[in-house]
Amino acid sequence: MMQSLLNTRGQSVEADTMDMGEEAYLPVSNITELEQLNEQLKAKPFKKKLIKSLGTLGGTTEKEVVARILKAMLEDELATNLNWKGMGQKVGISKMDIADVILRATRRSWESATNTSTEDLIKKWLRYSSDRSGGRRKREEKKKAAALIEIEEGNEPNNESDVGADEEDSD
């Protein structure tokens, strides 16, 4: 008999699918792996076992539960190419089986979770995926470098946070 495992990043989730012996490697790191996982989820026993495994990740708030599930399922780099509806040049997950897995695993762990509240948390987690893994730091460094270049060229740095401060001091 196979044992269901949900390990840390880079490990695998083994689904007890009787004689099917399917295994999902999580977190998925590219669109191809995401499509393969979505295809595997069409097998009901596999999907049910994955929901059960992800539902055990827990958390002290619904937001934390959703974040833990998403972190276990998706690499940050892949998440930057996803959104809920597939707007722009991103891939939408709302119609994929993984969306149902996330929603059901969240409800399993956080009983008062609703689809709407969980969907909102998923959207927010995906929206800010570029800030994880050093993205926010890189953006700040780029902003500082641009300000230094402007100073060297003799221009005033464009710092939007200082605009309101100047107006308050003039009174």
The answer to the question of residue 148 being in a domain is no
Query: Could you tell me the two tokens for 167?
Result: 């107006």
Q: What percent of the chain has pLDDT over 70?
A: 77
pLDDT digits (tens, 9 = 90+) for 141-166: 777 777 778 777 776 656 555 544 44
Residue 39 lies in domain: 5-127
pLDDT digits (tens, 9 = 90+) for 56-73: 999 999 999 999 999 999
* Domains in the chain, number: 1
pLDDT digits (tens, 9 = 90+) for 3-18: 333 444 444 454 433 2
DSSP string for residues in 93-112 = -TTSHHHHHHHHHHHHH-TT
The answer to the question of residue 22 being in a domain is yes
The answer to the question of residue 168 being in a domain is no
Tell which wins on pLDDT, 144 or 31. 31
Q: Give the span between the Cα atoms of 154 and 64, in whole angstroms.
A: 47
Q: What percent of the chain has pLDDT over 90?
A: 61
If we measure between CA atoms, which residue out of 2, 44, 47 comes closest to residue 24? Answer: 47
The answer to the question of residue 59 being in a domain is yes
Contacts of 45 (CB under 8 A, 6+ apart): 15, 16, 17, 18, 20
DSSP string for residues in 45-91 = HHHHHHHHHHTTS--SSHHHHHHHHHHHHB-HHHHTTEESS--TTSE
The answer to the question of residue 156 being in a domain is no
The answer to the question of residue 158 being in a domain is no
The answer to the question of residue 141 being in a domain is no
The answer to the question of residue 48 being in a domain is yes
